Structure 1
Amino acid sequence: MDSAPDSAPESERSGPSDGTDYTQVQESAEFGELRSTYRSFAFPLTVGFIAWYLLYVLLSNYAASFMATKVVGSINVAFVLGLAQFLTTFLIAVWYSRFAASKFDPKAAAIKNRLEGDA
């Protein structure tokens, strides 16, 4: 049985049928810059948020007296930090959206326009 990709009928091949070489696009400096920009934003932010979340979990487990400290009325530190988790998540989403609109989207659009212009 011949398993060469060129021997399969056109309808059974996977990938784009327009003949675009996406491997070449992936290896381009333009795409590398886009990927680098994404990684330099997303990775540190992800690590920071996970550390912040783990701090909250560890404090909840091992510093119960601290977390039970009253802040205002019956509101304690655990409640405030729990709400801060939600606030942090929302702020990261807004920050990412704005960063993506200003940094990622123009670079991705340039790559897309170049590909569509070549087609």
Structure 2
Amino acid sequence: MAQQERFDWWAAEPAGRTATTPAGRAGARTAAPAVARQGTAVGEAPAAVPVGPPAPAAGPHAGVEAGQVYRAVQQSPAFREIRRSYRGFAFPATGLFLGWYLLYVLAQAAAPELMRIRLAGPVNVAWLLGLLQFASTFVLTWLYARNARTERDRAALELRWDTQDQLR
């Protein structure tokens, strides 16, 4: 019988094991229906077939170690540009947010009279600044997502696909 290509290698036993019928496997979720195969009768268990991911094809990158690929990607100009763009947003945004938070805490400690000034009903300066902390968190999250989507996501996805192609 000619060797058949297996399309369900992802659902099979780990490499190096042989397949067994699902009913014979401990903890099997469902039993597979009996299917007649070439050379076996209905209801008979087929011979053990090695399963696992298909063998890597011999291509231009055959034998390349993953560590070498990842080091090469890390040193590539595309990766450096993605990191530069990330750092260009994340570091200043983090610094601004921490500065804003520390200003709020220091104002509470150093100027309690200022923080007690009522603005509208029971709302005073301290309450307003505390609520603005929450608002600034959401605004910062939105800005980060927008920056990632417009500046880095497409380049990072292309780099990811290139890396996966090298590892095949």
TM-score tier (shorter) = 0.7 to 0.9
Moved over 3 A (4+): none
TM-score (norm 2): 0.59
Question: Which residue is 1:54 aligned to?
Answer: 102
1:65 paired with 2:113, answer yes
| 1:41 equivalent among 89, 94, 100 | 89
* Equivalent position SS for 2:107: helix
Using CA pairs under 8 Å that are at least 6 residues apart, name the structure with larger relative contact order, 1 or 2.
1
> Do the aligned partners of 2:70 and 2:163 also contact (CA within 8 Å) in 1?
no
> Alignment identity in percent?
39
Cα offset, 1:57, TM superposition: 0.1
TM-score (norm 1): 0.82
Task: Judge which range, 31-40 or 99-108, deviates more.
Answer: 99-108
| 2:79 equivalent among 18, 31, 46 | 31
Superimposed CA distance per residue, residues 55-100 of structure 1 (whole angstroms, 9 cap, x where no aligned partner): 0000001100000000001110000000000000010001111111
For structure 2, the residue ranges without an aligned partner over 5 or more in a row are: 1-63
For structure 1, the residue ranges without an aligned partner over 5 or more in a row are: 1-17
Structure having the higher Rg: 2
> Counterparts of 1:65 and 1:106 in 2: how far apart (Å)?
50
